[in-house]
Chain A
Amino acid sequence: MSPSRSSRNSLQSVDLRALDYLTSPSANLLCPICHAPLITPVQTRCLHTFCSACISLSLERSSTCPVDRKPLNHDDVTPAPIMIANLVNDLVVLCPNREKGCTTSCARWLVESHIREDCEYATVKCAKEGCDGMVERREAEGECVHEEVECAFCEGAVRKLDVELHYKECPKLSSDCRHCSKSFPNPELAAHKLICPDEIIDCAASHFGCSFSSRRSELDEHLSHCHFVALTPILQLHTERIETLELENKAIRQKLDLLVPPRPLPTQLSGATSSAANDSSSGRDMTSEMQDYTYHLYSEYEQLRSDVERLNAQIRELDVKQDMARFNEGLRYNDEMTGVRAAINGLRMQLHWLVASRREAGTGGAGAGGARSVAGSSASGDGRRMSVDSVRQVVKL
């Protein structure tokens, strides 16, 4: 690295939370709050791990663990084991200047020094003496782009760097409205944007839940019958009231936390219970006993709930199994039925043949005997049907 370059360290800041990772990291290394790999990992008393910044934000809003809702205070939060910190710091990230063109990827703990000292796309101070402008490092050696030149249209002074940008607002030029694509002189564009009939805007009560949005020209029609707009004054009032109540609630909770420690340590608890006879602290003992009892009940409740859930799952499984068994049984019966039917058919054929051959042997005649044999066979057919029915009944049984 040349000395002239190292003297131009980049001041571009790196937001570790916004980094993109080369491969998606193990779910165990993700913070339950921001769902990104942990940054400065800390551990709670209930053994959950969060980013230091995330849990602080969460504790500002609620004194409970964001995972299991157990009571939690700043004092219950300690740095996570160094191994976890090492694991997340070694994850490979892509350079934050990737969109500008940098293809570097490196361990997360190195990314700040990459930006500060190496990245060709990080912004550094302009090389020209006396110039305060910033350029990308790869262009730092080129000519200064911060000198002012004259605009060809309005004759105003513009930095070389900003010429393109200036054309969008130069008072002598026109630009197109993004919404209606009509062209307006730049000075009038801002005013037009406030009234452009084609811009898609949300209902005035969108923050109260109305999901309607339409072109500005058509919104009035909606506003005239939108229930949310009609309710806005009262909803506003309620929001304000809820906010004050929340503030009050927070203050009260803080006071309460001072009076009653949210979760006494087990040793304190047993000590307090054993000295229950002591009059001076009996009130205190009552509350800790109550707490003890509540926690006990709560854990029992949790246990019961998980039991019920497990039983439910088992029942569902059994149901499925039973359905399958019934289905299989049905198939088997079907097969058996077909077998029985085939057997009966065989019997029928034999019977038919036997009857016919006996008739023939008995009468010997062809004319009237033939007719009788037809009647006989149909009678035997009835008998057969009956026997099939009875077999069917037997199968059903």
Chain B
Amino acid sequence: MAAVKRITKELAEFSNNPVPGVSAGLASEDNVFKWNVILTGPQGSPYSGGVFTLNLILPTEYPFKPPTLNFTTKIYHPNVSNDDKGSMCLGVLRSDSWKPSCKIVQVLEMAAGLLKEPNVDDAVETSIADEYKNNPESFEKTAREWTRKYAK
């Protein structure tokens, strides 16, 4: 299957050129469509010191349909839905802006980038986005608290 071949190749490429702050691998050896991802909170952000685990699910139609990225660690972030799914909202992951030429490593880079700097224009949690914009101290306080509580 073309998808398996491409994903295997992308995994090999990722292991050879890892992204700083991101580690990723297959959830189980016999299924390339499910990846475990670990993000470490970047220095200087309220997530600093935290370790966040995510699931990356690739559809069988990959690369024609986008992957989905879910936080399994609770995180206080404008771009991550504050529910059981913890789905990450990334512009490129929407099926109407996904391009088959996008690579998984680009998705992971963007996820790591959002920890450094949330994207309020693309927020799922609008109340958190408002707080981030208008009351950054209180946002940072809660985000740091959650990091300490859930991401250690």
Contacts and interface: CB of A to CB of B under 8 A. Distances in A.
Interface in A42-86: 54, 57-58, 61-62, 66-69
Interface residues of B, number: 24
Given A67-B99, A209-B68, A211-B72, A34 B5 contact: yes
Interface stretch (B39-47, B55-63, B133-141): B55-63
Interface string B20-46: 000000010000001000000000000
Given A34-B2, A34-B6, A67-B101, A209 B85 contact: yes
Contacts of B27: 211
A54 B85 CA distance: 32
Interface string B79-99: 000001101000000000101
A69 B34 CA distance: 27
Given A58-B64, A61-B64, A209-B68, A32 B2 contact: no
A235 B44 CA distance: 39
A33 interface: yes
A18 B5 contact: yes
A211 B34 CA distance: 9
A323 to B, nearest CB: 14
Contacts of B85: 209
A209 B57 contact: yes
A254 B65 CA distance: 20
Contacts of A35: 6, 9-10, 103
A124 interface: no
B70 interface: yes
A36 B6 contact: yes
Contacts of A68: 99
B5 A66 contact: no
Given A209-B70, A211-B72, A32 B100 contact: yes
B94 to A, nearest CB: 12
Interface residues of A, number: 20
A66 B99 contact: yes
A57 B70 contact: no
Interface in A3-48: 17-18, 32-36
A33 B84 contact: no
A62 B64 contact: yes
A54 B101 CA distance: 11
A69 B64 CA distance: 12
Nearest to B13: A35
A48 to B, nearest CB: 8
A179 interface: no
- Among B9, B61, B100, the one with the most A-chain Cβ atoms within 10 Å of its Cβ is B100
Nearest to B7: A35
Contact of A17 (B2, B34, B84, B103): B2
A58 B5 contact: no
A69 B65 CA distance: 14
Contacts of A66: 63, 99-101
A33 B63 contact: yes
A326 interface: no
Contacts of B64: 57-58, 61-62
B6 A61 contact: no
A227 interface: yes
A292 B116 CA distance: 39
A134 B42 CA distance: 59
Contacts of B65: 61
B99 A69 contact: yes
B101 A61 contact: no
Nearest to A246: B95
A211 B37 CA distance: 13
Contacts of A62: 64
Contacts of B10: 35
A36 to B, nearest CB: 7
20 contacts: A32-B100, A33-B6, A33-B63, A33-B100, A34-B2, A35-B6, A35-B10, A35-B103, A36-B5, A57-B64, A61-B61, A62-B64, A66-B99, A67-B101, A69-B97, A209-B55, A209-B87, A211-B27, A211-B72, A228-B84
Given A17-B5, A33-B100, 13 more contacts: A17-B2, A18-B5, A32-B101, A34-B5, A35-B103, A36-B6, A54-B2, A57-B64, A58-B64, A66-B63, A209-B68, A211-B70, A211-B72
Interface of A: 17-18, 32-36, 54, 57-58, 61-62, 66-69, 209, 211, 227-228
